[in-house]
Amino acid sequence: MRLFIINMLAILLIASPAAAAKNLTTLSEKLYYEAGFAGILFGKIGIEIEQKPEKASITCDITSSGILALFLKHSSHTTLEANGSSFSYPNRTYASNYHTRKKFRSVKLIYKNSKIDTQEVQPPDDREKRPAVPDSDINSAYDLMTFLLQMRKEIDDARKNGRTYFSINAYDGRRLTQADFNIGAEKTLEIAGKDIKTLMVTARRKPLAGYTKGEIEDIEPNEPSMTVYFSNDDNLTPLRMEVPFMMQKISATLIKQCGPEESCLLGISG
């Protein structure tokens, strides 16, 4: 569940100001999403993100809820502190702590001058089951939170140059994954009872390194793409994410977009 929600966030948080602006702009967002299947709520996601040319910080809280929480209790708290210049951040600290089925796991990654300096993974991986990702591959990828920020630059560049496709590699402390994005067409959807013109973006993942044999076998060869619908205006607000599953769709919907003095993380643990 955690990997699905993290991948979902990676799509939902393509930052809207960058796509509409001629140049990257500073960003301050507080967002609250609810995820569900067949009308049943199963997850809550709270995000706070501050981005300036010379520094960035992100806090992400995820928790299972509703009926799912009775069978699969999950919660995670992930942070990023980064600094650099021109919206690039060679020095950063990524930390993620999460509980699933009462099992605690954590990852801490410290980068200096765009190179991995420290990796702390608890519990440690069994290298007979999970191969290590080479440092050279880690250095050319992004931790999951910086991955979100890099999307802003990629979307900005794609819009400037008329491209509709780009790829980014992400490293979560254990696995290296390639994400392939396509910027699609306009579509009118009914959101909260209103017809809204949206812009469709799809994404697919490709495992590259650090996956166990079992994880590779669990990935379906024809795994469906994730689809995200953004308001097709100057804001490009992410409104809904959908993934086909069992003849229906797993979805995540933006419930609340908070102001500077509000908190979208209130109640996230419930």
What is the torsional sign of CA 94, 31, 266, 1? negative
104-125 burial: b if 16+ Cβ within 10 Å, else e: ebbbbbebeeeebeebeeeeee
Within-domain flag for 270? no
Closest CA to 18 of 236, 252, 253, 242: 236
Within-domain flag for 179? yes
More confident residue, 4 or 33: 33
Domain count, the chain: 1
Average pLDDT over residues 238-250: 83
Within-domain flag for 232? yes
Average pLDDT over residues 50-65: 89
pLDDT digits (tens, 9 = 90+) for 69-110: 666 778 899 999 999 998 889 999 999 998 887 789 999 999
User: Does the pLDDT at position 117 exceed 60?
Assistant: yes
| Confidence class for position 270, pLDDT limits 50, 70, 90 | very low
More confident residue, 85 or 4: 85
pLDDT digits (tens, 9 = 90+) for 150-188: 877 776 677 778 889 999 999 999 999 999 999 888 889
pLDDT digits (tens, 9 = 90+) for 174-230: 999 999 999 888 889 887 677 888 878 888 999 999 999 999 998 888 888 888 887
More confident residue, 239 or 94: 94
Model pLDDT, residue 25:
66
Within-domain flag for 21? yes
Q: Is 178 exposed, middle or buried (0-12, 13-18, 19+ CB in 10 A)?
A: middle
Please give the mean pLDDT across all residues of the chain. 82
Within-domain flag for 268? no
| Confidence class for position 5, pLDDT limits 50, 70, 90 | low
Phi and psi at residue 77, in whole multiples of 5°?
Answer: -135, 115
Within-domain flag for 121? yes
Model pLDDT, residue 215:
92
Within-domain flag for 81? yes
Q: Which residues contact 40 (CB under 8 A, 6 or more apart)?
A: 66, 67, 68
Q: What is the pTM assigned to this prediction?
A: 0.82
Q: Cα separation of 251 and 148, whole Å?
A: 19
Within-domain flag for 269? no
pLDDT digits (tens, 9 = 90+) for 13-37: 544 433 333 455 677 778 888 888 8
Asked if residues 6 and 175 have their Cβ atoms less than 8 Å apart, the reply is no
Model pLDDT, residue 240:
84
Q: How many CA atoms lie within 13 A of 223 on its CB side?
A: 14
Residues of the domain holding 234: 2-257
